[in-house]
Amino acid sequence: MTAASDPHHGSPPPRVCFFGHRSMGTWQIRAEQVSSTRRHWTASGALRPDRILKHDVFCFVKRPHRTKMRLLSALGKVVLFDALDCWRQPEDGVANDSLDKIRLWFEQFFRDLPVDGVIFANRTMAEDLRDLVPNPSFIYHHYRPTLRPVAVREQARVVGYEGEAAYLGPWRAIIESACRKRGLSFVVNPADFSDIDIGVAARGGEHASLMARRYKSNVKLANFYGAGIPCVVHSEDVSYRETDNGEVRFFASAAELEARLDELLPLATRRRVQETFLTSAQAFTLASVADRYERYIADLVAARRARARAMPVPSKQVEAQ
């Protein structure tokens, strides 16, 4: 590794602890899986004294435990907040139905947050809110590490959705109707992800708030990339727009959904889409996303160390020298 490519700027790599509730859906992806990529990173649901002493950086996932953050900051630790899904869902999304209201909600949420940096779920969230926090950045979701490319069957048979079924809202009935017309089966959370020929991602009803549309992650599309599954996704979900490789099919109405499904039925099309998806998946591997975390963290730690070196030596120490 050259000096120019060294994310630690020639210093020992910082020891990082990802902190949060192990019961959260985001925990496995944004804490346990990411932390598993580095020997000097860990994930913990408890802030014990030995963990405080052992680590240099603490990244709080989803929930900002302000008292703990203040303690760590006072101890000279670098404190980060991963703001993925940090609002109450769907309540806060329903209550804040305009960009002005969303902005005000986050102004209050981030007020006096004792952190050195904030990681947002996508570029739009970072651009909307970057002036409210120190050292803003964004990191997309990686795809599930166990995924492998699916077999492209000669005839598509299964359209699949992975996630909380309630999030589909009225789209579920629309998708089921479109599939019946084409002799396709629609499955929610299939036992085997590789059974899916065409994937779908959509939000409806109270779960399709402006806040959710703009700030929810790209995880479903990332998984379709990782498995090479052609897909149709809702056009208002910003993370999918940001990470679209040009072969994602978008829809905003029942008619558009049916048209996009028809586009993906030919075998040659699905083979081509899979090839492009598997190429695009390289940007969303666990290793790639972990590298993004590492660079961001290393820059903040280096800046902290540079400020410490630049601090004037107390006068008594100068006299002693």
What is the pTM assigned to this prediction?
0.93
- Kindly give, in sequence order, each residue whose CB lies less than 8 Å from that of residue 238, ignoring residues fewer than 6 positions away: 122, 124, 213, 214, 215
Residue 320 has pLDDT above 60, yes or no: no
The tokens 């590794």 sit on which residue?
1
Residue 201 has pLDDT above 60, yes or no: yes
Per-residue pLDDT reduced to its tens digit, 60-101: 999 999 999 999 999 999 999 999 999 999 999 999 999 999
Per-residue pLDDT reduced to its tens digit, 100-155: 999 999 999 999 999 999 999 999 999 999 999 999 999 999 999 999 999 999 99
Per-residue pLDDT reduced to its tens digit, 152-184: 999 999 999 999 999 999 999 999 999 999 999
Per-residue pLDDT reduced to its tens digit, 21-38: 876 778 788 999 999 999
- Round the average pLDDT of the chain to a whole number and report it: 93
> What distance in Å separates the CA atoms of residue 60 and residue 75, rounded to the nearest whole number?
16
> What distance in Å separates the CA atoms of residue 185 and residue 178, rounded to the nearest whole number?
10
Residue 281 has pLDDT above 50, yes or no: yes
Q: How confident is the model at residue 11, as a pLDDT? A: 74
